[in-house]
Amino acid sequence: MMRNSYIAILVLLLLGTFSSKAQQDPQYTQYMYNTEVVNPAYAGSRDVLSFGLLGRTQWVNFEGAPKTGTFTVNSPIGALDNMGLGLSIVHDEIGPSVESNITIDYAYRINVSESGKVSFGLKAGLDLLDVDFSKLNIADPGDVFDNNNIDNKLQPQIGAGVYYNTEKFYVGLSVPNFLTTKHFDQSKITDIINNPGAIGETTAAERLHYFLIAGYVFDLSENLKFKPATLIKAVNGSPLQWDASANFLINEKFTLGASYRWSAALSAMAGFQITDGLFLGVGYDFQTTDIETYSDGSYEVFLRFDLFNKPERVLTPRFF
């Protein structure tokens, strides 16, 4: 009976994915360090050659739970360093589906004040989707979408964003993908936990995701900084997702903080600036929904490596 409960929850999550794409764009606890994935205008804004690597395991010990990995690299370019160029790679697994995308990120920056810059960004690339419905443990496998798997479904991705920052403040608005593409039509799942017809037809389609991200760095003392941040994700047909976090930076080396995802999770975060160019961050999510009954939380690890070409960037570090 417990296994059937796992199956039921997973299938319902997948249907939510296919009907509204609420889960197809991965979520991140340490979103403040992973901005380029959702907003191409961030590329080059750190004024260094910056590499980022993130790994996330969601709902540990829950069969078919999401697993996400990202890789980003970006750098300022141009004679005046007024442009940025980057690469974003995202690999996401949930249940029977595996989705990967690779995009080129370009940003053009304009100085609007002594310390403020506005960047306009474009994101373009490809998305690859595979879905193997035989991985679902349903009572009658023949009922699962008529076993019509999705093999190497390739589609373009085009997005855009705008990003404003100073040394202490940032805010950005973006849509990572403007294209809406249907994956398949009129699929059905029946006989789930001996309840035929409980779930009817559904259509898998991409929908626009709107991301708003913002943060500020407060100097509480010479050796203590307070870094609140927030992210809002809006998707048509899905509940609004709101994350709010608060990090404390101690001696510009240790980071400790917490985050809250509205009606979803409480999170703890920690980080360590190992060297001037190497930062390691970890995060843990405790789900505030019923999913916590079937899992042991979510874990996330982030690694950032910066290569400095200007000595002044080491003396005046960026905290986002």
pLDDT tens, position by position, 257-303: 999 999 999 999 999 999 999 999 999 999 999 888 888 999 999 99
Stretch 198-213: mean pLDDT: 67
Domain membership flag for residue 240: yes
Domain membership flag for residue 107: yes
Domain membership flag for residue 209: yes
Range of the domain at 217: 2-315
Report the alpha-carbon distance of residue 261 to residue 285 in Å, rounded.
9
Cross-strand bridge partners of residue 99: 92, 129
Cross-strand bridge partners of residue 71: 53, 89
Report the alpha-carbon distance of residue 145 to residue 134 in Å, rounded.
10
Lowest mean per-residue pLDDT among 16-20, 105-109, 151-155, 172-176: 16-20
Closest residue by Cα to residue 176 from 68, 26, 278: 26
Domain membership flag for residue 29: yes
Domain membership flag for residue 184: yes
The pLDDT tens digits of the residues spanning 113-127 come to 998 999 999 999 999
pLDDT over 50 (residue 190): no
Closest residue by Cα to residue 114 from 48, 45, 167, 161: 167
CATH of the domain at 77: 2.40.160.40
Domain membership flag for residue 320: no
Domain membership flag for residue 128: yes
Confidence of residue 141 (pLDDT cuts 50, 70, 90): low
Stretch 7-29: mean pLDDT: 52
CA atoms within 13 A on the CB side of 139: 12
Domain membership flag for residue 120: yes
pLDDT over 60 (residue 205): no
Q: Are 304 and 317 in contact (CB under 8 A)?
A: no
**Phi, psi for 291 (deg, rounded to 5):** -60, -25
Residue 152, sorted as left (phi over 0), alpha (psi -120 to 50) or beta, turns out to be left
Residue 279, sorted as left (phi over 0), alpha (psi -120 to 50) or beta, turns out to be beta
pTM of the full structure? 0.83
> In total, how many domains does the chain have?
1
